[in-house]
Amino acid sequence: MPQAKNVEEYIGIQRTAIASNPECGTTHYNLAVALIGQKKYDEAEQELHDAVECSPNLAEAYAQLGGICLQRGDMEGCLSYNKRAIHSRAGFAEGHGNIGFAHLQMGNVDEAIPALEKAVRWNPNFIQAYTTLANAYLMNGMTDKSIETGMKIIDLEPNFAIAHNNLAIAYLEKEEYDLATDHCDKAVELGYEVAPEILKEIESHRKHA
């Protein structure tokens, strides 16, 4: 397939490929991803449906359909498509991560945690899933597990500001104020907007240090 100079040309190449071989699920998928990049969600959605019709085990296509649902605020749809993604490929880390994220958004912390644990088991470098998992642990009162997960994120990406922010909150919960201050300062240094009430609490303990 020829190399595209830009997105429009890439889309044109994919459309030409589909015209000559409409049964290729991967080409429908590639076209859909390019259309999503242009925010043409309705057209992308149709291409993704065509993709899974041609290739029923294309887990990535179900995940992208879930992503479109997420854009529309349809958490149930997001959950449903990602369940189909992991049904088509059990070890699809992104699908498990998306299921965990959707459950957490819906307030189902107990369902979110095992899905996110599976996501990081299948992909030990999945920073976004670790981040959501650390939040889920914190929401569930599992502060030590949240800290352990946060430290794994820092090992993978030392300058990941969200992780430092979450660690600051977790250490505040444990009343380990020096560590909370260190991580809060690091989050601020990295450009993260720490919540004013957290900054205020950190300052109150800094004064007593």
Tokens 């029923």 belong to residue = 56
Residue at 45 is within a domain? yes
Residue at 15 is within a domain? yes
Whole domain around residue 38: which residue ranges?
A: 1-56
Residue 67: predicted pLDDT: 95
Task: Give the helix ranges, DSSP H, for 75-192.
Answer: 75-88, 93-105, 109-122, 127-139, 143-156, 161-173, 177-189
Residue at 13 is within a domain? yes
Total structural domains within the chain:
1
Residue at 47 is within a domain? yes
pTM confidence score? 0.89
pLDDT tens-place string over residues 98-145: 999 999 999 999 999 999 999 999 999 999 999 999 999 999 999 999
Residue 209: predicted pLDDT: 42
CATH of residue 49's domain is: 1.25.40.10
Joined together, the tokens standing for residue 38 give 């242009």
Q: Does residue 207 carry a pLDDT above 80?
A: no
pLDDT tens-place string over residues 174-200: 999 999 999 999 999 999 999 999 999
Work out the average pLDDT over 138-167.
97
